[in-house]
């Protein structure tokens, strides 16, 4: 099922907002991860089922793979400890890396560009460069085949 760019961007933004919220109230404290998405204020305002479905796929995937994603972030963040990375940037990085590694239909450049757009919208003036640096390094690792993903930069 092909989705329009706007649908994906809206779904990605919603997924980011849910993942960011989970940094303050982990899903373990909620009845379920699905409930956490459904009760998010941004999700309550969203009317498109396509957007919600795409957001759910991303949230579920990122949450299930967050240990793997965090290891990759740590490897490419040049001596930054995960707990020192701002919650906004961490949520964006996890989301983008999940798309880079586990969404075959999303090119590496698209995942990076969308992460940068999220950083412009939700981060501070340093977010874009920080996120771009880590994702660019990770993309080169993927491009070299070092992470077992068949995608090219």
- 3-class secondary structure per residue, 41-59: HHHHHCCCHHHHHHHHHHH
**Closest of 71, 100, 83, 88 to residue 125, by C-alpha:** 88
Quickly count: other Cβ atoms within 10 Å of residue 12's Cβ: 24
Instruction: Give the pLDDT score at 89.
Output: 96
Tell me if 153 is assigned to some domain. no
Tell me if 64 is assigned to some domain. yes
**Parent domain of 122:** 5-143
pTM of the full predicted structure? 0.89
- Say how far apart CA 68 and CA 40 lie, in whole Å: 25
- Say how far apart CA 25 and CA 75 lie, in whole Å: 26
Tell me if 152 is assigned to some domain. no
Tell me if 84 is assigned to some domain. yes
Instruction: Give the pLDDT score at 1.
Output: 40
Q: Which range is least confidently modeled, 39-43, 59-63, 86-90, 129-133?
A: 39-43
Instruction: Give the pLDDT score at 2.
Output: 45
Tell me if 22 is assigned to some domain. yes
Tell me if 112 is assigned to some domain. yes
Structural domain tally of the chain? Answer: 1
Tell me if 115 is assigned to some domain. yes
State the maximum Cα–Cα separation within the chain, in Å, rounded to a whole number. Answer: 42
Q: What is the mean pLDDT of residues 106-130?
A: 94
Report how far Cα 82 is from the mean position of its chain's Cα atoms.
Answer: 15
Quickly count: other Cβ atoms within 10 Å of residue 38's Cβ: 15
CATH number at residue 111: 1.10.940.10
Tell me if 150 is assigned to some domain. no
- Say how far apart CA 70 and CA 90 lie, in whole Å: 9
- Say how far apart CA 112 and CA 92 lie, in whole Å: 10
């Amino acid at each position: 099922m092909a989705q329009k760019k706007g649908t994906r961007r809206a779904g990605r933004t919603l997924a980011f907002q849910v993942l960011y919220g989970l940094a303050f109230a982990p899903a373990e404290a909620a009845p379920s991860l699905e409930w956490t998405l459904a009760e998010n204020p941004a999700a309550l305002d969203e009317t498109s089922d396509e957007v919600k479905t795409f957001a759910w796929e991303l949230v579920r995937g990122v949450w299930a793979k967050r240990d793997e994603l965090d290891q990759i972030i740590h490897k490419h963040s040049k001596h930054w400890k995960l707990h020192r990375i701002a919650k906004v940037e961490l949520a964006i990085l996890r989301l983008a890396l999940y798309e880079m590694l586990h969404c075959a239909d999303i090119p590496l450049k698209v995942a990076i560009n969308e992460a940068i757009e999220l950083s412009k919208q939700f981060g501070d003036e340093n977010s874009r460069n920080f996120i771009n640096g880590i994702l660019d390094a990770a993309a080169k690792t993927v491009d070299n085949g070092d992470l077992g993903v068949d995608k090219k930069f």
